[in-house]
């Protein structure tokens, strides 16, 4: 049975890999990102037909509301929601500008809360659905230069577990994938040769590595409220 999957942040990186894997599994995908052309291009590149790309800034309540109204109008329902939109602005706290703190929290944490809330209407009506939020290993272990980013990801963990409890009686599952160092635009400026030494598996992950974990959580009907690390063992190393 084909599911309607909304992949927020699906135009690049981890979200794009999730969108590709879901499309390969014959699901219908809505790719969402701020850049409309990029979202449409990502949707058009997926295997199969009927995928669409929409623009939405998840840090804006009005944008999220407009986008999910459009999804429900055009597609009818939401079965799966994957929250892969995220930003980082790495800096020591003393040098982090308050406006950057707001952007990180509004995108990574509030944005996910808003899209979950917007999707629930359809999932509650359908008496089922699955959500996977993308956290980070630094939300569990902390990292120098990532105080606000780590806080946003730790917040996502509490949010995910609480929502999982809240909606389990309605047959809706909510899980979190916490990646380590994954090779995307977000990590392009990092010194991979240096940093990979800290990873027990000895390499950065690929977006596809994360996509497989997301797919597992979406498709495994008796799993909810889990935090699944996809970090090559990075958490163990600290
Ligand atoms: P990328 O920068 O490669 O991609 C980010 C995606 O999010 C893009 O599609 C981008 O599109 C979209 N996006 C960003 N801001 C918004 C917004 N306000 N509204 C809607 N869409 C937005 O990042 P990654 O793929 O690396 O990261 C994906 C997720 O995984 C993030 O939550 C990140 O924090 C997390 N993560 C990544 C790790 C890594 O090593 N790469 C490690 C741990 C966690 P556009 O710019 O057009 O809006």
DSSP state of 24: H
103-158 pLDDT, tens digit each: 999 999 999 999 999 999 999 999 999 999 999 999 999 999 999 999 999 999 99
Secondary element (H or E) of residue 33: strand 28-33
Please list the active-site residues: 149
Asked whether 36 lines ligand 1 (CB < 6 A), one says no
**pLDDT digit string, tens, across residues 187-213:** 999 999 999 999 999 999 999 999 999
* Domain ranges within the chain, ordered by starting residue: 4-237
| Ligand 1 pocket member 57 (CB < 6 A) | yes
- Indicate whether residue 3 lines ligand 1 (CB < 6 A): no
1 falls in which pLDDT band (50, 70, 90)? confident
Tell me, in angstroms, the distance from the centre of ligand 1 to residue 87's CA: 6
The alpha carbon of 127 and the centre of ligand 1 are apart by a number of angstroms equal to 29
Give residue-wise pLDDT tens across range 170-180.
Answer: 999 999 999 99
Which tens digits make up the pLDDT trace of 37-66?
999 999 999 999 999 999 999 999 999 999
Work out the percent of the chain whose per-residue pLDDT is above 90.
99
Instruction: Please count the other Cβ atoms lying within 10 Å of the Cβ belonging to residue 120.
Output: 21
Which atom of ligand 1 is the closest one to the Cα of 205? 40
The residue whose CA has the least distance to atom 10 of ligand 1 is 9
Testing ligand 1's pocket by substitution, the residue of 16, 33, 102, 138 carrying the most ligand atoms inside 8 A of its CB is 33
pLDDT of residue 61: 98
pLDDT at 96: 98
- pLDDT score recorded for residue 69: 98
| Average per-residue pLDDT for the chain | 98
Q: How many other CB atoms sit within 10 Å of the CB of residue 130?
A: 24
- Whether ipTM > 0.85 holds is yes
Q: For ligand 1, is residue 11 a contact (CB within 6 Å)?
A: yes
The answer on pLDDT for 238 being more than 80 is no
From ligand 1's centre to the CA of 110, what distance in Å? Answer: 14
- Ligand 1 within 6 A of CB of 14: yes
Task: Give the Cα separation of 52 and 234 in Å (integer).
Answer: 35
Contact 150, 142 (CB under 8 A): yes
Q: Which CATH class is domain 4-237?
A: alpha beta
């Amino acid at each position: 049975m084909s599911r309607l999957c909304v992949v927020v942040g699906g135009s690049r990186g981890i979200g794009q890999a999730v969108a590709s894997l879901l499309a390969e599994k014959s699901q219908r995908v809505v790719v969402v990102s701020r850049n409309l052309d990029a979202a449409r291009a990502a949707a058009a590149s997926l295997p199969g037909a009927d995928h669409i790309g929409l623009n939405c800034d998840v840090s804006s309540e009005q944008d999220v509301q407009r986008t999910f109204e459009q999804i429900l109008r055009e597609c009818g329902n939401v079965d799966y929601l994957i929250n892969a939109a995220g930003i980082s602005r790495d800096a020591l706290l003393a040098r982090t500008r308050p406006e950057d703190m707001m952007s990180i929290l509004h995108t990574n944490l509030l944005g996910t809360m808003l899209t979950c809330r917007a999707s629930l209407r359809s999932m509650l009506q359908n008496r089922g659905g699955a959500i996977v939020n993308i956290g980070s290993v630094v939300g569990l272990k902390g990292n120098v230069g990532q105080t606000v980013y780590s806080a946003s990801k730790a917040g996502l963990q509490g949010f995910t577990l609480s929502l999982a409890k809240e909606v389990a009686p309605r047959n809706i599952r909510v899980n979190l994938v916490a990646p380590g160092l994954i090779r995307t635009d977000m990590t392009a400026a990092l010194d991979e040769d240096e940093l990979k030494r800290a990873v027990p598996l000895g390499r950065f992950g690929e977006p596809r590595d994360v996509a497989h974990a997301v797919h597992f959580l979406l498709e495994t009907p008796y799993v909810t409220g889990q935090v699944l690390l996809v970090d090559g063992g990075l958490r163990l190393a600290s």
